[in-house]
Amino acid sequence: ISFGDGACGLWVQLFIFSKIPELIDTFFIVSRKKPLIFLHWYHHVTVLLFCWHSYATEASTGLFFVAMNYSVHAVMYGYYFLMAIKQKPKWLPPVVITIAQISQMLVGTALCVMSFVLLNKGGSCAVKKENVIAGGLMYGSYLYLFVEFAVKRFILAPKKKSAKKLA
């Protein structure tokens, strides 16, 4: 499978280009003077740079990352769309999307670690070492940040709301 040929190449290129509107989304948040968390802008900037590098070097791991990201983002942006048209899906609590994102980061980190080990043992997995290191650092930092976000939003925040109701 090639990054640049046929249906696979088309979907990988569309994926790379999809990172630009995601970055523009960050601009709209700032221009509307809404709060912008570190996770949001850091994720959008670094993933754009990493995707471009992965595409330019035809990192084999990139195909896994593209498939995972497409899957999670289809659900997430579908949810955001429903929220935007005031049709909050009761069947899809936001915690499910966050768990999917954390799972994506866990798999991405594991894939980078496995690739790094394979490369250090002299194996070949059609990926450059600098891409594996960058991907591991990126996915590892995302994993930490998404877990931190989930704890604050879904574990600590409900306790604070309950305490306010009692007061």
Residues marked active site are found at 43
Answer for the pair 100, 75: CB distance below 8 angstroms, yes or no. Answer: yes
Residue 167 CA, chain-centre distance (Å), reads 38
Q: Are 69 and 111 in contact (CB under 8 A)?
A: no
CA distance 116 to 134: 11
Are residues 19 and 13 in contact, defined by beta-carbon separation less than 8 angstroms?
no
Contact 101, 69 (CB under 8 A): no
Burial degree of 51 (CB within 10 A; 0-12, 13-18, 19+): buried
Q: Hey, what are 12's tokens? A: 């990988």
Please give the DSSP secondary-structure letter assigned to residue 92: S
**Looking at residue 88, what DSSP letter applies?**
-
